[in-house]
Structure 1
């Protein structure tokens, strides 16, 4: 595939696509034998659905650790997606943002939500195909979890924000690969920090937490958050749960 810059194919400490586990996965899935279009779709779908929505120890863990964990959120699942795509020769780049924390209400339990920063570091992946960049964000929420949110709140097609989702239409969010942009949290974007060839260059100056809050998140809070997300995925959302926002939340 023609690339605008070789940096968009390079390996980095975070994008460690030569790691044996990533190479074994690429080989087992025969992704190198696919056309670029089909390889993007297959890898994208794997990261979306086989890697569950959840919270890792840190945004800066390498792709091999995300694969080992088997779960991730926007930033960590994006790292894995970038590494796997580069591992089969598909150029991609990182686009950094923040999102308003309201879209995480419900995914983050109510008793922890007050501790969440008002704006949370966010990212998506941009893939280069047929001479243009395509935004990929719809990989963040796995279909099993999304299906439970839709079962509880997806009866109307209006802008929805909550449970890790911020989309114009919960019933039909643009999350499937058809060679065009995919999104699942873009309606919650607050700040746009631009594009980077390497996620490794973004995170040293952009972080959600520091100090005691970072320690508590790593060793306590994220486990409670993952337990909540897993419960939703397995059992659904109680009918008594408060309905999230159903309006545009983008603010200046």
Structure 2
């Protein structure tokens, strides 16, 4: 479990902002499951989802301390922050990467990415009560309510993944490829999958 408790450039939980956040929110007074649940909801709702944050070039934008201060980010950034907070709370945490399809993607998404495929979509796994539990804190509750989608709920016991259907029974999220679990961000995989799927659209946004 040691590798899932480490601090690194992105998961910089030794930063004062992260340490003070854990202290100020009395996280360590809770049980491990309660810690994971509280941190999940903080990242889910207090860190707003921002698809356009994916185009940030500054490496500091992918440090947990920066994400916490900025209070918004895309799935990878939110997963980095949740990992850092959980590790600071002494919970072994790792990254899960997949390719997923959003069946309700807006026209804006197609204009930006050229597809409704999101890869590598990133979320977390916590090691709690002797097993790994999945937790995807990507979409904040406010965004879900506006879209008519159920928000992901997490109890620290059962996997909490993005829902396959919206509140009207329409297809929503489909996980179509599993890319593995990682103790730190595999940047080459992120780059390779982004180029493979987004190609010229990615170049256009970064120009």
In structure 2, what is the Cα distance between the partners aligned to 1:23 and 1:211?
39
Residue in 2 that maps onto 1:179: 157
Which residue does the alignment assign to 1:65? Answer: 66
CA contact (8 A) 1:92 1:125 kept: yes
Query: Which range moved further: 118-127 or 207-216?
Result: 207-216
Q: What CA distance in whole angstroms lies between the structure 1 residues aligned with 2:109 and 2:32?
A: 43
Q: TM-score, normalised by structure 1?
A: 0.67
1:122 corresponds to which residue? 121
**CA shift digits 1:198-218 (9 cap, x unpaired):** 12xx22223224887546435
SS at 2:176 equivalent: strand
Aligned residues of 2:135 and 2:159 also touching (Cα < 8 A):
yes
1:192 is matched with: 178
CA RMSD of aligned residues (A): 2.6
Does the 8 Å CA contact 2:110/2:116 hold for their aligned counterparts?
A: no
Q: 1:90 to 1:66 in 2, by over 3 A?
A: same
Higher-Rg structure is: 1
Where structure 1 has 5 or more consecutive residues not aligned to the other structure, the ranges are: 151-169, 220-252
Give the Cα–Cα distance (whole angstroms) in 2 for the partners of residues 25 and 76 of structure 1. 17
User: Aligned equivalents of 1:26 and 1:176: distance in 2?
Assistant: 19
1:190-231 deviations in whole A, cap 9, x for unaligned?
Answer: 2211111212xx222232248875464357xxxxxxxxxxxx
Note if 1:142 corresponds to 2:126. Answer: no
| Residue-pair matches, total | 190
Q: Which residue of 1 aligns with 2:131?
A: 132
Q: String of CA shifts for 1:146-165, please: whole Å, max 9, x gaps.
A: 11112xxxxxxxxxxxxxxx
